[in-house]
Amino acid sequence: MNDFHQGPQRRDCLPAPPASDHAIRNLWPMFTEDVQARLIAGAQAYGDESFRRAPADLIEEIRQEVRDVAGWSFILDCRLKNILERIQAIDALSLHETAQPDIQGQDR
């Protein structure tokens, strides 16, 4: 009998699959469906002219979208910074309270 044999492997002892496996299998199809829906909506709204536009026009359109993403990212970053600062303040208070002795001089 092998010293390393311990019976069937428990599922929680196995390494978790990479996050990319989950993302590709479960999230990528939803992403591509969203992109397809936007392409269809754009074709309906603009008469399907996108495929006839000059490449320079498409490049400018992409540049504008990238600026929009950067702007929205800045706004979200400001909000996340505010949330992080609040969490850090709560953590600091919590650590301070647990380090203080109670009224009778005993640690909590």
Reported as a single tens digit per residue, the pLDDT across 93-104 is 888 777 666 566
Domain segments of the chain as ranges: 19-52, 54-102
Q: What's the pLDDT tens digit per position in 59-87?
A: 999 999 999 999 999 999 999 999 999 99
Q: How many CB atoms lie within 10 A of CB 50?
A: 13
Q: What is the DSSP letter of 3?
A: T
- 100 CB-near residues (< 8 Å, 6+ apart): 108
Instruction: Name the phi and psi angles at 58, rounded to 5.
Output: -65, -40
- Residue 18 is encoded by which pair of tokens? 């990479």
Q: Span 55-60, mean pLDDT?
A: 96
